[in-house]
Amino acid sequence: MRYMRTLIKDAYIVTQDPSREIIQGDILVEDGLILKVGKVYDSADREIDASGDIVIPGLINTHCHVSMAILKGIVDDLPFDRFLERVFQVDERRTEKDILAGARQGCVEMLRSGTTTFVDLYYAQDIIARAVEEMGIRGILGWAVLDPEFTTQSGTPMDNCKRFHQSHRGSSRVVPAVGLQGVYVCSTETFLDAREYALANDLLLTFHLSETRKEVSDCKRKEGKRPADYLDGIGFLNDHCLAAHSAWLTMNEVRQLADAGTKVSSCPVSNMKLATGGVAPIPEMLQNDVTVSIGTDGSTTNNSLDMFGEMKTLALLQKSSRWDPAVLPAQKVLDLATIDAAHAVRMGDSIGSIEVGKRADMVILDGAAANLRPLRPDNIVSNLVYSSCGLNVKTVLCDGVVVMEDRQLVSVDEEEVLNTAEEAARELLG
C-alpha cells in the first residue's frame, strides 16, 4: 500500500474530539495518520478542495452481516419464524462465489454512505476478508461460533475461528474477532471457550443478545435466567464484549453489562422491521456508563447499510417511545456512530475522531446539498443526524487512502462489482 500526503482544504471539520469542536480549516494526512488539523500551509501530493463541505470521522457500523447484501428483499414483510426459516434455507446453499460477491456489494454500499469500519458476524470470514482488502474498508470480522450440532460449517466453528485469526492477525484493514451466534445455539462451554481465546489474544467478542422476547423466554426455560443474567452468572461478560441488539434488558441486566465493561450495538431499524418489539433502554445504559454504538444488522433485516438513516431512526425511536424530545440529543447520536463506536470496538485511541495522531478515516459530505442547507457551525450536527443521507457523501478516506473521490470509487470497478453480485444473486435465489 502506498500512502500519499493528502491535504483537505477549507472544510467545516466536525472533529468529534473531547470538546466536540467544529472548526473551519484544513487537515493534513501523511502515512495513514492525521498530521495536522487547522490552518495548514504545507504542500501535499494531493490536495482536495472541500470549500463549504463537511468533514466527519468515518462512521463505524458495529453490527452487520455484510455478505447478505445480495439477499436484500427476499424475506420482507414476514413473521419472524417464517423469516428465519427462509433465511436458513438460503444460507445452507451459499457458496464462496456468492459470499464474496455479497461482501463486495455490501462494502461498496457502506463506503458510498460514509462507513469506513464495520463489525461483521458470519462464517467464511476468510472470504469476506478478501472483499475488505480489495475495497479498502476496515472490517472487524467475527467468525461465527456456535455449538457444532447447530452449524452448517465444515469442521468445528471455534477451530475455524482460531484458524481465521491466526491467518489474518496483524493486518491493518482486516481485524479478526470472535463472533458468537447467541444463547440459543451456544452452550456454556462454547461461550467460555470463546471468552478464553478472545482474552488470551486480545480480540473483540461480539454476539447477539436479547434480540427478541422469545430468545429471553427460551433462555429462562433452559437456564433459569434471562440471557444477560445467564452470561453474567457463568462469568462470560467482560470488557472485550460487544452485545448486538440488547433490546429486551432489565435494569439489573443493564447494570451487569456496565459492571463488566460490556459494550452494546443497538440495531433499531432491524428490530422495528422484524417487529420483534422491545426498545433498547439506551438512556439507562448511558446513565450507567455503558458504551453504546449503532449497527445496521444485515440486509435481510434492514435492507440498508446507510448509517445516516440508522442514526436518525435510533434518535426518533428513543424520543417517541419516551415521549421526550430531549432524551437523546443529536450530538450524542453522532457520538454513537463515531467516537463511542470506536471505544465499543476497542479502537478509541486510533479511530472515531479527527485528531492529530489518529488513523485518517474521514468522510467529506457535500455542504451544498439542499438537504444540508442552511449550513452553519451551530446546526451542522443536527443536519448530520436529522437531515443527511448516504447520498451526501462525496469523498472517503480510510487509513489515509482515498477510496472514493467525487462520488467515484477509486479502488474497484463498481459496475463490475454490482453486476457480479446481481449474477450471484440470480444463481443463488433462482
Residues comprising the chain, all counted: 430
Lowest mean pLDDT among 2-16, 109-123, 349-363: 2-16
pLDDT tens sequence across 370-394: 999 999 999 999 999 999 999 999 9
Helices 125-135 and 157-168 cross at an angle (nearest 10°) of 30
- Distance, in Å, from the CA atom of 199 to the CA atom of 203, rounded to the nearest integer, reads 6
- Distance, in Å, from the CA atom of 163 to the CA atom of 373, rounded to the nearest integer, reads 50
pLDDT tens sequence across 255-298: 999 999 999 999 999 999 999 888 999 999 999 999 999 999 99
pLDDT tens sequence across 323-365: 999 999 999 999 999 999 999 999 999 999 999 999 999 999 9
- Predicted local confidence at residue 2, as pLDDT: 58
Phi/psi at 237 (5° precision): -65, 140
Domains belonging to the chain, first-starting first, are 6-57+350-409 (2.30.40.10), 59-344 (3.20.20.140)
Across the range 196-207, mean pLDDT stands at 98
**Amino acid in the structure at residue 248:** W
Helices 330-337 and 307-322 cross at an angle (nearest 10°) of 140
Across the range 22-29, mean pLDDT stands at 98
Phi/psi at 77 (5° precision): 60, 35
C-alpha cell belonging to residue 379: 446546526
Distance of CA 338 to the CA centre of its chain: 10
Residues 6+ apart with CB under 8 A from 125: 141, 142, 143, 164, 176
Contact of 327 with 281, CB cutoff 8 Å: no
Residue 132 pLDDT grade (very low, low, confident, very high; cuts 50, 70, 90): very high
Across the range 59-81, mean pLDDT stands at 94
Prediction pTM value: 0.97
3-class secondary structure, 311? helix
Lowest mean pLDDT among 81-85, 192-196, 227-231: 81-85
Across the range 393-413, mean pLDDT stands at 96
Contact of 295 with 121, CB cutoff 8 Å: no
- Predicted local confidence at residue 170, as pLDDT: 83
- Distance, in Å, from the CA atom of 151 to the CA atom of 294, rounded to the nearest integer, reads 27
Residues 6+ apart with CB under 8 A from 221: none
Across the range 409-419, mean pLDDT stands at 95
pLDDT tens sequence across 150-190: 988 888 999 999 999 999 988 879 999 999 999 999 999 99
- Distance, in Å, from the CA atom of 260 to the CA atom of 289, rounded to the nearest integer, reads 11
Residue 89 pLDDT grade (very low, low, confident, very high; cuts 50, 70, 90): confident
User: Is pLDDT of 408 > 90?
Assistant: yes
Residue 92 pLDDT grade (very low, low, confident, very high; cuts 50, 70, 90): confident
User: Is pLDDT of 369 > 60?
Assistant: yes
Distance of CA 279 to the CA centre of its chain: 19
Contact of 330 with 382, CB cutoff 8 Å: yes
- Predicted local confidence at residue 3, as pLDDT: 67
